[in-house]
Structure 1
Amino acid sequence: MRVARLQLHGFRCINEMSVDLHPGFNFLVGANGAGKTSVLEAVFLLSHGRSFRSGAREALLRRESTELGVFSTINHDDGRIARLGLGRAGTRWESRLDGQSVSLGQLIRECAVVCFEPGSHDLIAGAAEGRRQFLDWGVFHVEQDFLPAWRRYQRALKQRNSLLRSSAPLDEELFSPWELELARSGAAIDQWRKAYLDALLPFLREQSERLLPELGEVELRYRQGWPEGEDLASVLGSQRTRDQGRGHTGSGVHRADWTLSFSHAPRREHLSRGQEKLVALACVLAQAWLDASRRGEWPIVCLDDLASELDERHQAAVVDGLAATKAQLLITGTELPQPLRRLGAHVFHVEQGQLTPLL
């Protein structure tokens, strides 16, 4: 899939912008603060329903603007064309697909974007929530029933937490229905996550060998969020008193996590900060390869500030690996990296939120 046209209105530092992108390599060059990352962020938003930057979606609204709009024409490999839009007027957000109002889930299913940016380092060194988001995005795009199950789980979790924080007694009749729902929907989510990580591992090994051969073979470890071999409903029942004291549910798929280890670096603490960035990049690229194998078309690949994050050898490894694919790439930087000069990337100059084609 490819972004053929991107239109932005009232987004971050961008007042109005419309740009036609090339199906291959697109490089956005400009000074810091010019709006390069905001372009990638807008494309990512259509695929994830959130920014890769910290903060709420309300922070995306341009200062002094009352409306925000992100619109894109997506060309699929099978010839299908989809028109996507996500906008905000006042406090109300609206998702549109081919001119029709749709749920956010329907919108983001239509567009797949993976992104490596300076904050991607947190995928390895940060909190478990970011790793769950990475994992669940991948599952969402291959399992049609994931989103309904996830919503049922979240509703049951909210209800149980509300009971824990109330003055209600720890009554079996009050808690049991929500704990059974957490167990049912959680079991499905857990199995999908495990299957996805199993499918991701071969692609992760390929990318790790390309980027970090000195670390040896990589392994993935998954922790489901409650003791292995035990029924979640039973675990939740036995933990009501403890959870009431804490005011939240301490076991379940919302507490899951996954980690990596290498034969020559079995603990995360053995990795340098630079290696952590490369491991995060390997995860992002592995997810792109897996998504392409499952969907039959490549996701859009965004690489923010590539030259600042990677040395030239690793830049070349990434660029050369993706050049052989049908992926569309959006890459940013303050100057054109040497590996992209060889490929003849299409260059856009970004200044004060405006894109101007150069090459």
Structure 2
Amino acid sequence: MRLEQLRVRGLRCLTEVGVALDPGVNVFVGANGAGKTSVLEAAFLLSHARSFRSGAKEALLQRGASQLSIFAELRHADERVCRLGLGRGGVRWEAKLDGASVALGQLVGECAVVCFEPGSHGLIAGAAEERRRYLDWGVFHVEHGFLSTWRRYQRALKQRNSLLRAPSPPADELFAPWEAELAQAAEQIDRQRYSYLDRLRPKLRDGLAGLLPELGTFELRYRRGWSDELDLARQLREQRGKDIARGHTTLGAHRADWALTFEQAPLREHLSRGQEKLTALACLLAQAKLYAEQRGEWPIVCLDDLASELDLAHQTAVVSLLLAADAQVLLTGTELPAALQGLPARVFHVEQGELTRLL
């Protein structure tokens, strides 16, 4: 898939920007704080309805602006063109597809963007929430019905947590239907996650062998969030007293996690920060490859500040892979990265939230 046009209004320092993108490599260069990352962030928002940058949601809105909006023309591999719109004036996102208002899930299902950026090492070294997001985004794009199951699970989880926090302990019969719903949805989510990771492993093996051969073979471990020995509904009943004391549900699909261990680095702490970044990059590229295999087209790939995150050899390897895959790439840097010297690319200069095409 390709973003052909991207228009952004009121996002951080981008007052109003419109850009025609190349189907191949697009590079945004400029000083730190000029707004380069915000261009990539706009593309990512269309695919995730959240930013890859940390901080409050309110920080997305440009100071003094009343509304944030992102519009794009997206061409799929089958030549189908879609017009995407995402906006927010208050606390809720509003989504449009080909001019019609749609559910947010429908919009993000149309556009797929993966992003490697300075905080990506958090996928390996950070909290489990980040790894669940990565996993569920991949499952969402290849498993029909995942979103509705996930919403059922979230609704049941919210209701059970509300009961757990009641001023006086509710009767058992009030918990039973929500725990049954929670367990049923969790089992479905678990099966889909497990299946997805099974398909992801070969792609990870290739990526890690290319980027981190010194670490040897790897193992991908998945924990579903509750014991394998008993069904979740029974475990929820038995755990209810402890959950009431804590005020939240401590077992379930919302507690799942996964981890990579290596022959030469059996503990996560054995990885250097550089190795964490390369491992995260391998995970993101593996996800992109699996998406392409399942959907027949590569997602859009964003690489934020590539030259400062990777050495030249790894920059070159990643760029070569993406060029061979014919993926659209959006890349930022203070200058044109050495790995792109002499290669075809559309280059834009970004200064104080304004874009000017250079090449």
* TM superposition score normalised by structure 1: 0.98
Q: Which residue of 2 aligns with 1:52?
A: 52
Q: Partners in 2 of 1:89 and 1:312 — Cα distance?
A: 42
Q: Partners in 2 of 1:92 and 1:240 — Cα distance?
A: 33
1:268-283 to 2 correspondence within 5 Å? 268-283=268-283
Contact 2:94–2:101, Cα closer than 8 Å, also in 1 = yes
Q: Which residue of 2 aligns with 1:358?
A: 358
Q: Which residue of 2 aligns with 1:29?
A: 29
Q: CA deviation at 1:93?
A: 2.9
Q: Which residue of 2 aligns with 1:348?
A: 348
1:80-159 to 2 correspondence within 5 Å? 80-159=80-159
Q: Partners in 2 of 1:25 and 1:219 — Cα distance?
A: 33
* Higher deviation after alignment, 225-234 or 162-171: 162-171
Which amino acid in 2 is paired with 1:41?
A: E
Unaligned runs of 5+ in 2: none
1:287-339 per-position Cα deviation (integer Å, ceiling 9, x unaligned): 00010000000100000000000010110111111110121000000011111
Unaligned runs of 5+ in 1: none
1:181-260 to 2 correspondence within 5 Å? 181-260=181-260
Q: CA deviation at 1:55?
A: 2.7
1:221-243 per-position Cα deviation (integer Å, ceiling 9, x unaligned): 00000011320000000000000
Q: Which residue of 2 aligns with 1:300?
A: 300
Q: Partners in 1 of 2:205 and 2:244 — Cα distance?
A: 43
Q: Which residue of 2 aligns with 1:263?
A: 263
User: What percentage of residue pairs aligned between the two structures are identical?
Assistant: 66
Q: Partners in 2 of 1:229 and 1:354 — Cα distance?
A: 58
Q: Partners in 2 of 1:112 and 1:247 — Cα distance?
A: 36
Q: CA deviation at 1:90?
A: 4.0
- Against the structure 1 CA distance between its residues 90 and 244, is the aligned structure 2 distance closer, same or farther, given a 3 Å change threshold? closer
1:230-263 per-position Cα deviation (integer Å, ceiling 9, x unaligned): 2000000000000000000000000000000111
| SS state at 1:15 partner | strand
Contact 1:27–1:331, Cα closer than 8 Å, also in 2 = yes
Contact 1:222–1:259, Cα closer than 8 Å, also in 2 = yes
Q: Size of the alignment, in residue pairs?
A: 359
1:114-151 per-position Cα deviation (integer Å, ceiling 9, x unaligned): 00001111000000000000000000001120011000
Contact 2:69–2:88, Cα closer than 8 Å, also in 1 = yes
| SS state at 2:50 partner | coil
* Higher deviation after alignment, 340-349 or 15-24: 340-349
Q: Partners in 1 of 2:312 and 2:93 — Cα distance?
A: 41
Q: CA deviation at 1:58?
A: 2.6
Q: CA deviation at 1:170?
A: 4.7
Q: CA deviation at 1:344?
A: 2.3
Contact 2:7–2:72, Cα closer than 8 Å, also in 1 = yes
Q: Partners in 2 of 1:140 and 1:90 — Cα distance?
A: 27
- Against the structure 1 CA distance between its residues 257 and 90, is the aligned structure 2 distance closer, same or farther, given a 3 Å change threshold? closer
Which amino acid in 1 is paired with 2:243?
A: D
* TM superposition score normalised by structure 2: 0.98
Q: Which residue of 2 aligns with 1:38?
A: 38
1:167-218 per-position Cα deviation (integer Å, ceiling 9, x unaligned): 2435220111000001100000000000111111110111111110100112
Q: Partners in 1 of 2:191 and 2:168 — Cα distance?
A: 33
Contact 2:10–2:68, Cα closer than 8 Å, also in 1 = yes
Q: Partners in 1 of 2:63 and 2:51 — Cα distance?
A: 17
